[in-house]
């Protein structure tokens, strides 16, 4: 079978460091064209991948069989809708949309056109999260009662760009960025959310969106999740601290895949997703603990799933409804922070 031609919209950090390398390394996919108006990025695309760089999405439709939307968040819905209207399947980088209703509209359009829509919730394929899901699935923690999960960084000086400087119209800030991953992982691990509480602040001068956010979730099964997304943490806490009725699990350090992608390592290179032994997590109790090998991270599995969906009719790697559920929680968190209330869902 011929390769699926992929048109990539956007070649900022998401497109350049995540999507383009992953598409290039996935059997069955070929990067066919990239939309970017920046002259330097156009030159890089053509030199690195030998593909055409175009200035507008309208030039893309005839060049591809699949559209990947990795442009700024505020353009996700309009670009994805335009591609779906052309009858093209679509991958949208997270967040799928600004609101759950916008996400539902995209999902309805995909169903009407009979084409795939999926969302790049790549952190489901982080090695540490894969390890945690396995331990929970095997019953090694007993009944999970509390999940603590963090994406904390120390960036006292803002980097600039729309994610930090833009307001609500840019769909910027950490709640929509790292918070989307945190909520998605919590829901995947512990199920639907019934109550949401959020504290969200702007700590640095010149920043227009939240850079220090905490979200507390109560899940339908009774477990609680405490989630932190911050750019002003001089001493980050553990990536995961999970407490169960039989044991706990603590893991420090970020998944290695983003760091290695940014360094230019190919995602199909041997050992690409392997964690360093000194950063393995610890499972047990006060009296009995042992290190647990981290499952290899595998962002490539997302795009392998895209190929299976398009060629074999498999389910998409991320059901858009699950991304809509995450947006419902994000909206509730924004309301909670604004009004200083607990928001009840369902």
Instruction: Please state the domain count of the chain.
Output: 2
Indicate left, alpha or beta for 106 from its phi (over 0: left) and psi (-120 to 50: alpha). Answer: alpha
Same structural domain, 148 and 295: yes
Token digits of residue 168 = 């609500």
Q: Give the domain-ending residue among 120, 141, 165.
A: 120
Residues spanned by the domain of 211: 123-300+328-344
With a cut of 70, list the residues of the chain below it in pLDDT: none
The mean pLDDT value of the chain amounts to 96
- pTM to 2 decimal places: 0.96
The per-residue pLDDT for range 156-171, each reduced to its tens digit, is 999 888 888 877 788 9
Q: Is 336 a domain residue?
A: yes
Residues 82 and 169 in one domain: no
Whether residue 198 contacts residue 241, with contact meaning beta carbons closer than 8 Å, is answered with: no
149 and 259 together in one domain:
yes
Q: What is the pLDDT of residues 186-202, one digit of tens each?
A: 999 999 999 999 999 99
105 and 242 housed in the same domain: no
Residues 157 and 81 grouped into a single domain: no
Residue 306 belongs to a domain: no
Tell me the pairing of strands 248-251 and 281-284: antiparallel
Task: Indicate the SS3 state at residue 120.
Answer: strand
pLDDT digits 0-9 by tens, 10-65: 999 999 999 999 999 999 999 999 999 999 999 999 999 999 999 999 999 999 99
Do residues 252 and 293 both lie within one domain? yes
Q: At what angle do helices 178-190 and 320-339 cross, to 10 degrees?
A: 110
What is the pLDDT at residue 222? 97
159-231-256 Cα angle (round to 5): 90
Final residue belonging to a domain, choices 120, 144, 173: 120
The pLDDT assigned to 144 comes to 98
Q: What is the pLDDT of residue 83?
A: 98
- Percent above pLDDT 90 for the chain: 95
Domain endpoint, select from 120, 147, 178: 120
Can you give the pLDDT at residue 283? Answer: 98
């Amino acid at each position: 079978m011929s390769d699926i031609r992929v048109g990539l919209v956007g070649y900022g950090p998401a497109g350049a460091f995540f999507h383009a390398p992953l598409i290039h390394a996935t059997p069955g996919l070929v990067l066919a064209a990239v939309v970017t108006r920046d002259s330097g990025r156009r030159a890089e695309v053509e030199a690195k991948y030998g593909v055409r760089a175009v200035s507008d999405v309208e030039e893309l439709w005839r060049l591809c069989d699949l559209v990947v939307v990795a442009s700024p968040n505020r353009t996700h819905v309009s670009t994805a809708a335009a591609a779906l209207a052309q009858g093209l399947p679509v991958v949208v980088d997270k967040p799928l949309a600004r609101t759950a209703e916008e996400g539902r509209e995209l999902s309805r359009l995909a169903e009407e056109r009979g084409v795939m829509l999926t969302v790049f919730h790549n952190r489901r394929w982080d090695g540490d999260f894969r390890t945690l899901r396995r331990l929970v699935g095997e019953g090694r923690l007993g009944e999970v009662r509390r999940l603590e999960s963090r994406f904390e960084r120390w960036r006292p000086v803002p980097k600039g760009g729309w994610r930090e400087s833009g307001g609500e119209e840019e769909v910027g800030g950490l709640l929509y960025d790292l918070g989307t991953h945190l909520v998605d992982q919590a829901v995947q691990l512990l199920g639907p959310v019934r109550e949401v509480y959020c504290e969200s602040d702007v700590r640095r001068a010149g920043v227009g969106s939240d850079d220090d956010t905490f979200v507390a979730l109560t899940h339908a099964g009774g477990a609680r999740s405490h989630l932190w997304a911050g750019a002003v943490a001089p001493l980050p806490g553990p990536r995961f601290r999970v407490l169960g009725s039989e044991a706990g699990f603590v893991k420090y350090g970020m998944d290695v895949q983003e760091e290695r992608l940014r360094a230019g390592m190919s995602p199909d290179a041997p050992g690409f997703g392997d964690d360093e032994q000194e950063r393995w997590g610890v499972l047990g109790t006060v009296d009995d603990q042992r290190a647990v090998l981290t499952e290899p991270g595998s962002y490539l599995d997302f795009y392998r799933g895209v190929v299976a969906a398009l060629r074999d009719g498999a389910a998409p790697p991320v059901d858009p409804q699950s991304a809509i559920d995450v947006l419902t929680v994000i909206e509730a968190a924004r309301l909670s922070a604004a009004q200083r209330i607990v928001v009840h869902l369902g």
